[in-house]
Amino acid sequence: RALFLAKLADFERYADALGDQAAAGVAGAVATLDYLARVLFLCESSSFIPVGKARELRIDATYLQATELSEAHRRNPAAGRAFAAARERLRAEAAAMVAWFAGREPKDDFEANVKAVLASDTIKVDARHLAIAAAAVPTYQRHQSAAQQLLRAARSAHVAAEGDKLERPLRVYQVETFDTHYGPQERLSLIDDEGNCFTWRTAAAPAELVSRANRERRFDAGFKIKKHITSQGTAITEISHVRVKRWLP
């Protein structure tokens, strides 16, 4: 509790310092779903930068970047086109997030503030309000990820035997990138129609599988069973030699 209050006070001092900058050149309010869609896009494109980290690194926090996204996209038209293509999907996710907080009993002061800020169709262009709304995104995503992990753990089972070759529809639900002694690699987390979980670690993942646009999209896959593991209570089948045979409707 003491740590939370200390962080809150720290945030408020920083928010006050950035208040004029956050509001500069921006109308008095921004549409809630549009603003959240911008934050979601920034989180997908890079990562969420909280206020404290932004101050430490002397960079803009995500909540502030979201207010300046149009200008950033004028400098980077490719990113602007990517945002335009994803806008409706992001707005739908934002609407689901607003509904989730609206139907949830707040667990602490932060969630109570989020619920109040997101209750309106617009958000006041004020550093405090914008930062609270932006911070709601990673909070929501953590809860959704935890809920989905519990569901996957309940449904997933190990598939086939080591060395077997299989063909079946799969969907990518998560992509992680990390550095190794041999260079960057990616770990793709996949799931089949029965809810069984798979993971594929590779340095040469097809761009179409890594693409956010194809997340949760079914494809006909060929692959080889590498081994069986259990992680955080979830039975996972590690695979290799993955081939995308065709995308499925």
> Sign of the C-alpha dihedral, residues 55, 58, 62, 67?
positive
In a shared domain, residues 91 and 172: no
Boundary-marking domain end, from 152, 182, 212: 152
> Do 90 and 161 sit in the same domain of this protein?
no
pLDDT at 1: 45
Mean pLDDT of 16-39: 68
Considering the domain architecture, whether residues 61 and 43 belong to the same structural domain is answered as yes
Residue for token pair 């149009």? 70
Same domain? 183 vs 221: yes
Residues 178-231: pLDDT tens digits?
888 888 899 999 999 999 999 999 999 999 999 888 999 999 999 999 999 999
CATH of the domain at 215: 2.40.50
Domain holding 21, by residue range, is 2-152
Q: Which residue has the tokens 């500069």?
A: 24
What value does the mean pLDDT take over residues 111-138?
96
- Is it the case that residue 19 has pLDDT exceeding 70? no
Total domain count, the chain? 2
* Per-residue model confidence as pLDDT tens digits over 68-85: 999 999 999 999 999 999
**Which of 89, 90, 73 shows the shortest CA–CA distance to 38?**
90
Query: Do 22 and 83 belong to one domain?
Result: yes
What letter would DSSP give residue 114?
H
195 and 217 both lie in a single domain: yes
Count Cβ atoms below 10 Å from residue 74 Cβ, excluding itself.
10
DSSP one-letter code for 26: S
Angle at 36 between CA 23 and CA 135, to 5 degrees: 80
Residues 14 and 94 in one domain: yes
**Residue-wise pLDDT tens digits, 146-158:** 999 999 999 999 9
The token duo for 236 is: 């996972």
